Amino acid sequence: MIVDIVQTLLNGLAAGAAYALLGVGFTMMFGVMRRLNLSYGATLMFGGYLGALLASRAGGALPDAALVLLAAAVTVAGATLAGLYVERLCFAPLRGRSGVAAMVSSFAVWMQIEEFSTWLLPLHTNPYPAPFNVASWQLGALTLRPEHLLTLLVAVLVAILLHRLLRASRFGLAVRTLSDSPAAAQAVGIDAGRTTLLAFLAASTVGGIGAWLVLVADQQVTPMFGMWSMAKGLIAMMLGGLGSIPGAVAGGLLLGVLEASGQALFGPQIRELIAWGALFLVLVLRPGGLFGRAAFDLDIAAHQRL
């Protein structure tokens, strides 16, 4: 019984660590732009498709370890590159203008990137190179899966690096001022356009790493991945409080644990329903998120009416 609970918690935290990275990328974009990037999931899917494409073309020619590393690099770089495209086309031209237009524009580009990706690899299921041959280890009654450990390790590492980048660098200072108060950031001479672009790219990279961790665990990528990763990132972000990076980490972990416990208790069909249900409840009861400052975040939203 205790073992089951610990096992469920462990599975949930591992899944949640990847959700956390998806949420952090999403929330960073929102923080600097005050805009929702609907093509976020599609850009991550594009990265995943590039990785799978590489495996399908160069699968036999490369040693497995090299293929895994190369796929990781291609996935993260692809997500970042697609992010660059989205920022330049949908958000930079409309900065300071209509937020709804920017959002709808990013939706149109979601469709575009998704179709382009499926043109690269038309099959529904595409194998994605995974690093581990062992399926799992037994530790007493607990089952440890290597990709779970990898996810936890990488997520912690990325969180530490990102924290250092945002707290201890000049770029981080610019990002935080822009997220905190765009008007004041302008007054102290921060170049909003350039900072937004760079933060957007950094966020795409973080999201790309999160996507890679998910794909390695799934060992495949499908056309549903764009929608799926956006949903997970969105729920993680909103549970924790819009625009807050620590909130997104907490929200991601909570989402992972909620899903795992829901599945353990009621079966796999209920998993997604629980995730969306939790989001709806939190929005209705505590819109600022479980960890955010409700009043403050709502102020921003009301002020920056989309």
Partner 1 sequence: MSDFAVGLISNIGMITFVALSAYLLLVSGSISFGQQAYFGLGAYAAGIATTLWDWPLALGLAFGALTGALGGGLVGALTRRLHGLYFAIATLAFAEMTRLALDLWRYQRPIGGELVGPDGPNGFAGIRRAFTDGWEPLSFMILIWVLLAGTMLVLILFERSRSGAALRGAGEDPVLARALGTDVARLRVNTAAAAGAIAGLGGGLYAHLNTYIEPRLFDVMLGVHALAYGIIGGLGTAFGPLIGVLIDIGILESSRLFQGWRMVVFGGLVALLLIWRPRGLLDEATVRRLRRLFTTPARHA
Partner 2 sequence: MLDVKDVVTAYGKIEALKGVSLSVEPGSITCLLGPNGAGKTTLMYTIAGILRPRRGSVRFGGDELVGQSADRVVNRGIALVPENRLVFPQMSVTENLAAGAYLRHDHGEIASDLEKLFARFPALKERRSQPAGTLSGGEQQMLAVARALMSRPKLLMMDEPSMGLAPLVVEEIFRIVGELNRDGITIFMVEQNAHMALKVAHKFFLMEQGKVTFAGAPGEVAQDEVIRRAYLGSAKAT
Comparison of 193 and 268: residue with beta carbon closer to partner 2: 193
If one asks whether residue 97 binds partner 2 (CB under 8 A), the answer comes out as no
- Work out how close the CB of 162 gets to partner 2 at its nearest, in angstroms, rounded to a whole number: 17
For partner 2, the closer of residues 88 and 167 by Cβ is 167
Asked if 225 is part of the footprint of partner 1 (rule: CB under 8 A), the reply reads no
By the rule CB under 8 A, 302 interacts with partner 2: no
State yes or no: residue 65 binds partner 1 (CB under 8 A): no
269: partner contacted, choices partner 1, partner 2, none (Cβ within 5-8 A by kind): partner 1
By CB under 8 A, residue 103 contacts partner 1: yes
Is the C-alpha dihedral spanning 116, 119, 123, 128 positive or negative? Answer: negative
Contact set for partner 2, span 147-176 (CB under 8 A): 170, 173-174, 176
Q: Which does 190 bind (CB under 5 to 8 A by kind): partner 1, partner 2, none?
A: partner 2
Residues making contact with partner 1 (CB under 8 A): 36, 38, 89-90, 93-94, 97-98, 100-105, 107-116, 119, 227, 231, 234, 238, 242, 269-270, 272-273, 276-277, 279-280, 283-284, 287, 298, 301-302, 304-306
